[in-house]
Amino acid sequence: MTSWHMARRAERLNPSTIREILKITERPGIISLAGGLPATESFPVAALQEATARVLRETPREALQYAASEGFAPLRAWVADELSAQGLSASADRVLITTGSQQGLDLVAKVLVDPASRVAVEAPTYLGALQAFAPYEPEFTEIEGDAEGPTPAALDAARGARFLYLLPNFQNPSGRCLGAARRDALAERALEIGLPVVEDNPYGELWYDAPPPPPIAARLGDGAVYLGSFSKVLVPGLRLGYVLAPAVLYPKLLQAKQAADLHTPGFNQRVVYEVIKDGFLARHVPTIRARYKSHRDAMRVALEQHMPAGCRWNVPAGGMFFWVELPPQLDATALLPRAVAAGMAYVPGAPFFAGGGHANTLRLSFVTVAPALIEAGIAALAQVLKETLAS
Amino acid sequence: MTSWHMARRAERLNPSTIREILKITERPGIISLAGGLPATESFPVAALQEATARVLRETPREALQYAASEGFAPLRAWVADELSAQGLSASADRVLITTGSQQGLDLVAKVLVDPASRVAVEAPTYLGALQAFAPYEPEFTEIEGDAEGPTPAALDAARGARFLYLLPNFQNPSGRCLGAARRDALAERALEIGLPVVEDNPYGELWYDAPPPPPIAARLGDGAVYLGSFSKVLVPGLRLGYVLAPAVLYPKLLQAKQAADLHTPGFNQRVVYEVIKDGFLARHVPTIRARYKSHRDAMRVALEQHMPAGCRWNVPAGGMFFWVELPPQLDATALLPRAVAAGMAYVPGAPFFAGGGHANTLRLSFVTVAPALIEAGIAALAQVLKETLAS
């Protein structure tokens, strides 16, 4: 009888709540406001057809062979230029191409997190980051905040943490975008107390009213790691992200990358580079913004029209999510089966808090479903809430 | 001043010896027998052109969207059928598609290895596996062997190890293929002492004389994890591998996969499935075998013709590598700069031993370079060896 003995860290691996919910809600007929899936209508299929054909015609051997762990050099240079334009101090030799930015989160934790070391996170924070960090067995410290985001004074609770994980632009799940003054104040305080920052920016290009302020990492020099992704501005299924890391960390992140999957598919990197190299995103991303803005507005109107008194929500200036607080006596996890029975689905908010609690919160995605269905979905949710509150 | 504090495991991350050597030896004019790169002439470019075009024409939205962490269902079913035909007890629900089989090694270690727990390996063993396992801080136990591979009696040294890592088919680096009787005896002993086995098979299809015996895992039931790859039979640059895991491990491996990169690019999975679904590999792989067999024979002849007395090598029945033992007074790492100066490169053998030593060994790849250049490369190496032995 063979005895498998699992590592202690395996206890910290758990089924993804969201992915489990998505399985339930993928039934036909359910209006799912649960997933964070980009609208497939936004995928630039023609450009990708052209680029894949060109890569396979012009450089098939190079694109299909093993490749450098750092990533495809022209793509790294493109990323460095792009990040420099956002105010970051970026050079191609500090850009690491990753298999989605999820892999960037895994590598950062692999290199920086010891068991029982501390990682500071927002409350709420991105669930996928908690899942990437957890197997390295950190203690999470939640940073308190106000309506404008984490407060500079609250950073003191993170003193001695391996890093503070921040998602300043249209955060998943809260939709919150930090203002310029708050960014300045957070950066200043982080520098004062020597707190390293890992800044994650999957949604920054998805702004609907005005572009977000420059990255916090732009004020931190070698005190920050910055993560980005092509999933939300192009397509997620090619799994392309990147990490900009200070010189002191880059070699270890690179070695962790080699150990993890040798390199991100070179074919995918070359195809994306072919698509974007001549300014395609400057033409394409505005079409995504226009689409998602109309979706956001539809959800805002539907929420205002249907939701019962006592519910509160933000109006996100970008990204993909509304964040809803229900009256305190309601439990979004307990209510989900009733919402699904009523024909819609959302994601309960509790799993986004490292410290638990907040059972009365939920996340609604407005990008995947057409505006007419958004309204029907919100109406169904509101009806469930009203019935529950009345009983 | 920001203080980055690295995790203890980062000390176990080190530059890939081979990748560092490859950088040096990629200079034009060097005959590199160092890399383990498949011959680009073997890449089925036309089939991939057709498949990418079809996938982007017929299912672009599905191929470019986020996808299931387990992998593309038809590809998982294909893998299960393929492995069942090899004698494994395989079903699609225990197949996990990975970003190259390197990721399979990382996930296995993430789920199974605690700091100071033991992992048993062959001597020599695949360097990429040592690099994948090392950050999880195991103690490596080398299993002793004879000309036919690890000996069953030597497995007793692995009692209590989290697993024994085996590469039975045309091992990288030694080229060794275990015979059926040795596989039986190893499986029997592993079951007797309750030793879990992780069997890695990237090279099994690359046989030049006769197919290898069935996998050891076929005799171990739930006592084995089995890893495979499309890198050597199709192309490496799409980064597609797979893990077949017992039911007790599968959920944790899946959760580790979600945490690591959400999923392997769905586009890549669909393209490869389109290429292989109708029996393409049965026509394609024999062409790779014929090509590599002629390369192997060229290297065998060149070694016999040029190498000085006192050097020994195997003649691999498959795979990609000759393994050479130099006279004991020679150090392959120290000699490498002279070989490069003479116009050729190889990989020193020492890094392939978890316990170090074996400075007088080296690995030669015969698949990347054309047969005429193989002979020139071996002649150059032999000349360096003769000069060194004479001095």
Q: Which fold has domain B61-280?
A: Aspartate Aminotransferase; domain 2 (3.40.640)
Q: Does B237 contact A57 at a Cβ distance shorter than 8 Å?
A: no
Radius of gyration of chain A (CA): 21
Chain B residue numbers with beta carbons less than 8 Å from the beta carbon of A66 are 35, 37, 231, 236-237
Closest CB from B7, B35, B114 relative to A8: B114
Average pLDDT over residues A120-141: 97
pLDDT confidence of residue B15: 78
Predicted pLDDT of residue A270: 98
Q: What is the percent of chain B with per-residue pLDDT over 90, rounded to a whole number?
A: 94
The Cα of A311 is separated from the nearest Cα of chain B by a number of Å equal to 31
Q: Do A268 and B266 touch (CB under 8 A)?
A: no
pLDDT score of B25: 65
* Residue of A174 and A147 predicted with greater confidence: A174
Average pLDDT, chain B: 96
Model confidence at A20: pLDDT above 80: no
On chain B, the residues whose CB falls within 8 A of the CB of A6 are 111-112, 249, 252
Q: CA B340, CA B355: separation in Å to the nearest integer?
A: 27
How does DSSP assign B227-267, residue by residue? EEESTTTT-STT--EEEE--TTTHHHHHHHHHHHHSSS-HH
How do the domains of chain A map onto residue ranges? 10-42+282-390, 45-278
Mean pLDDT of all residues in A238-264: 97
Residue A357 has pLDDT above 70, yes or no: yes
Per the CB < 8 A criterion, the answer to whether B271 and B238 are in contact is yes
Please say whether the beta carbons of A96 and A70 come within 8 A: yes
Residue A25: predicted pLDDT = 65
Average pLDDT over residues A211-238: 97
Q: Using one digit for the tens of pLDDT, what is the confidence trace for B330-359? A: 999 999 999 999 999 999 999 999 999 999
Distance, CA of A302 to CA of A377 (rounded, Å) = 9
Of all residues in chain B, the one with the smallest CA distance to A197 is B2
Q: Nearest by CB to B63, which of A9, A56, A237?
A: A237
Q: pLDDT tens digits, chain B, 391 residues: what are they?
A: 778 999 999 999 987 776 677 676 667 889 999 988 999 999 999 999 999 999 999 999 999 999 999 999 999 999 999 999 999 999 999 999 999 999 999 999 999 999 999 999 999 999 999 999 999 999 999 999 998 999 999 999 999 999 999 999 999 999 999 999 999 999 999 999 999 999 999 999 999 999 999 999 999 999 999 999 999 999 999 999 999 999 999 999 999 999 999 999 999 999 999 999 999 999 999 999 999 999 999 999 999 999 999 999 999 999 999 999 999 999 999 999 999 999 999 999 999 999 999 999 999 999 999 999 999 999 999 999 999 999 8
pLDDT at A2: 79
pLDDT recorded at residue B323 = 98
Q: If we measure between CA atoms, which residue out of B306, B220, B239, B216 comes closest to residue B100?
A: B239
Measured between beta carbons, which residues in chain B are less than 8 angstroms from residue A45?
56, 60-61, 64
> Which pLDDT tens digit goes with each residue over A138-170?
999 999 999 899 999 999 999 999 999 999 999
Q: Do A2 and B194 touch (CB under 8 A)?
A: yes
Min Cα distance A143 → chain B (Å) is 18
Q: Return d(Cα B16, Cα B18) in angstroms, integer.
A: 5
User: Residue B311: its pLDDT value, please?
Assistant: 98
Strands B145-146 and B149-150 turn out to be antiparallel
Confidence of residue A14 (pLDDT cuts 50, 70, 90): confident
- Residue A147: per-residue pLDDT: 86
For the stretch B211-258, pLDDT in tens is 999 999 999 999 999 999 999 999 999 999 999 999 999 999 999 999
ipTM of this predicted structure: 0.96
Chain A / chain B CB contacts < 8 angstroms: 265
| Beta-sheet strands, E only, within B177-237 | 197-200, 224-229
**Tens-digit pLDDT profile for residues A71-91:** 999 999 999 999 999 999 999
Report residue A122's pLDDT band, with 50, 70 and 90 as the boundaries.
very high
Closest CA to B31 of B372, B384, B332, B391: B372
Tokens of B114: 């605690």
Task: Give B52 to chain A, closest Cα distance, Å.
Answer: 7
Q: For residue B239, what pLDDT is reported? A: 97
Alpha carbon of B222: minimum distance to chain A alpha carbons (Å):
8
Closest approach of A291 to chain B, Cα-based (Å): 17
Consecutive H or E run containing A364: strand A361-365
Whether B64 and A40 lie within 8 Å, measured CB to CB = yes
Strands (E), B62-152: 95-98, 118-122, 139-143, 145-146, 149-150
Rounded-to-5 percentages of helix, strand, coil across chain B:
45, 15, 40
CA-closest candidate to residue B96, choices B111, B118, B86: B111
Residue among B102, B223, B237 minimizing CB distance to A261: B102
Q: What is the DSSP string of A121-165?
A: EESS--HHHHHHHGGG-PEEEEEPEETTEE-GGGGGGGTT-SEEE
Compare all CA atoms of chain A with the CA of B114 and give the residue at the minimum distance. A7
**CA-to-CA separations, A339 to A27, A68, A323, A380, B254, in angstroms, rounded:** 13, 48, 17, 7, 28
Average confidence score pLDDT of chain A: 96
Query: Could you tell me the pLDDT band of residue A26, with boundaries at 50, 70 and 90?
Result: low
Share of chain A above pLDDT 90, in %: 94
Structure tokens at A204: 């920054």
- Which pLDDT belongs to residue B231? 96
Quick one: pLDDT at residue A177? 97
Q: Which residues of B touch A267 (CB under 8 A)?
A: 237-238, 268
CATH number of A45-278: 3.40.640.10
Give the SS3 label for residue B179: coil
Q: Which CATH superfamily groups domain B8-43+282-390?
A: Aspartate Aminotransferase, domain 1 (3.90.1150.10)
CA distance B263 to B278: 25
- Phi first, then psi, for residue B150 (nearest 5°) are -60, 145
User: Considering only CA atoms, which of B55, B39, B43 is closest in space to residue B273?
Assistant: B55
* For B133, nearest residue in chain A (alpha carbons): A259
Which of A219, A214, A193, A189 minimizes the C-alpha distance to A204? A214
Burial class (CB in 10 A: 0-12, 13-18, 19+), B124: buried
Look at B13 and A238 and tell me if their CB atoms are within 8 Å: no
Q: Which residue of A has its CA nearest to B132?
A: A259
Q: Residue B1 is nearest to which of A63, A194, A251, comparing CB atoms?
A: A194
The fold for domain A10-42+282-390 equals Aspartate Aminotransferase, domain 1 (3.90.1150)
pLDDT value, residue B391: 87
Contact B66 A16 (CB under 8 A): no
* Tally of helices (H runs) and strands (E runs) in chain A: 12, 15
> In which order are the strands placed within the sheet that holds A312-313?
A312-313, A321-325, A361-365, A347-348
- Residue whose C-alpha is closest to residue A195's, from A158, A227, A165, A167: A158
* Torsion sign, CA atoms A200, A236, B78, B289: negative
> Do the Cβ atoms of B252 and A190 come within 8 Å?
no
